[in-house]
Amino acid sequence: MCCCISDLRDKEVINVNDGRKFGCVCDVEIDTCTGKVTALIVPGESKGFLFSRCEDIRIPWEKVIRIGNDTILINVQCRIQSEQ
């Protein structure tokens, strides 16, 4: 299966370990030297204030298990840190 980066934006990221939904992909990190995808970026959680949210969450490409039609399954044991 092939897909474009723009197609990833419509897919929801779900952790298979605890069922947590991270939201949809908002960006992709690419190593410009190798041309390989290194991480998926999803928006951070809302802080509860209008237009206020935590830093984006970086999900390493190695944690991606499967990319389906509607979802991206990841396998993370611990809480993923927000981008700094």
Mean pLDDT of 6-33: 92
Is residue 40 within 8 Å of residue 25, measured between CB atoms? yes
Q: How confident is the model at residue 10 (pLDDT cuts 50, 70, 90)?
A: confident
Task: Indicate whether this model's pTM tops 0.85.
Answer: no
In sign, the C-alpha dihedral spanning 7, 10, 11, 13 is positive
Distance CA 1, CA 65 (A): 14
pLDDT at site 5: 83
Nearest to 16 by CA among 81, 74, 78: 74
Distance CA 10, CA 24 (A): 6
pLDDT one-digit tens code per residue, 45-62: 765 565 555 788 999 999
- AA identity, residue 41: I
Fold of 5-74: SH3 type barrels. (2.30.30)
